[in-house]
Structure 1
């Protein structure tokens, strides 16, 4: 009889252990899914911020290389539009010796659905040129950046300006 009680006790302990493990698995799964979503959103926000910084930071010496530098962040029609835009402004900006510097001051994911995401990026952009006696033109801009996943990378497919505030001193 003693063996029987021991077997029942071992069986009951095993059942409690298995049930506890199953409960822990069920309880942890939503946390892991939430953590994966947070990690993905961080990657999206960083990618959007890095893309904006790369797209709008240049000097007269490296502006003509801007489309190639930016290509790793862009995709589809937007990549083509950006390349055409830069190609159109390079001669004028090089001649005027324009230096543009963009600092991202905030970025957040607005939406994430499968392989599509939208991020909002807030920036301070400063431009200067000898033609304006190197007095910096400062703008506060925010962008809505649409991205799509391509393998393990997020690429910008569309970008629209949400706000634009010119903070350049008027002399």
Structure 2
């Protein structure tokens, strides 16, 4: 056996020592540090052959504990200010939403009033010789109070003459507007203006159309969920019937 140099991985060898190590064992010792480095678990890796010269590799992680510090005065003040600002912003948002909801409800109410007024006028002043007798019943769903009785008496008076003359009257609503609503919170009374074109024909007049432009002011009252007409007056009347 020839002399061998000290193994670079053997930290226990004396500087001036020249141990004689077999060639095969020196090669196994050189591979042991590399095997220890490849062991990711940090546990000791020994020679499977039971070689006593195989070393153990152990890795330890240091844990640094930081003492708890209570929140400083500035941090507490900042948190309190943030809370106050959040509450203030919520209150401001609520104050802004409330008028919007009230305005939206008022707009919806006005649309309901205008739509009901237009439907009512169309029904009250549109009839044919065939359905003239049932006009009072059809119109009653839009009327209330004394005006309901006045309208029925008027229709009953003209039913027979109009049937004999074969009068057909058609009313077309050209526009409707809400003039007022009261009270502001939950309206129960309103006035509306309705603009119409009315055309009447009869064989008695050789079916020459009678053209009239009429506008009405309606006084309306809310009963339950319905707006009913309690009074009606004519605002403007223009007779455009051709004169032959």
Q: Same fold (TM over 0.5)?
A: yes
2:137 is matched with 68
SS in 2 for 1:3: coil
State the match for 1:144 in structure 2.
Answer: 217
Q: Which residue of 2 aligns with 1:42?
A: 111
TM-score of the superposed pair, with normalisation by structure 2: 0.67
Q: Which string of whole-angstrom CA distances, capped at 9 and with x for unpartnered residues, describes residues 59-85 of structure 1?
A: 110011111111110001100000000
Dislocated runs of 4+, deviation >6 Å: none
**Could you tell me how far apart the structure 2 residues matched to 1:45 and 1:101 are?**
20
Relative contact order, CA 8 A, sep 6+: which one is greater?
1
Provide TM-score, normalisation by structure 1.
0.94
- Deviation of 1:94 (Å): 0.5
2:159 and 2:223 mapped to 1: Cα distance? 29
Give, in whole Å, the separation in 2 of the partners of 1:10 and 1:2. 14
1:18-167 equivalences in 2 (<5 Å)? 18-114=87-183, 115-167=188-240
- Corresponding residue pairs, total: 171
- Consecutive unaligned residues of structure 2, counting only runs of 5 or more, are 1-68
- Find the counterpart in structure 2 of residue 3 from structure 1: 71
> If each structure's helix is expressed as a fraction of its own residues, which one has the higher value?
1
Which of 1 and 2 has greater Rg?
Answer: 2
- Tell me how far 1:34 sits from its aligned partner: 1.5
Q: Which moved more, 1:24-33 or 1:83-92?
A: 24-33
For 2:79 and 2:130, the matched residues in 1 are separated by: 77
> What 5-or-longer segments of structure 1 have no aligned partner?
none
Shifted more, 142-151 versus 30-39: the winner is 30-39
SS for the counterpart of 2:71 is: helix
Per the TM alignment, residue 156 of structure 1 is displaced from its structure 2 partner at its CA by 0.1
RMSD between aligned alpha carbons?
Answer: 1.4
Higher strand share: 1
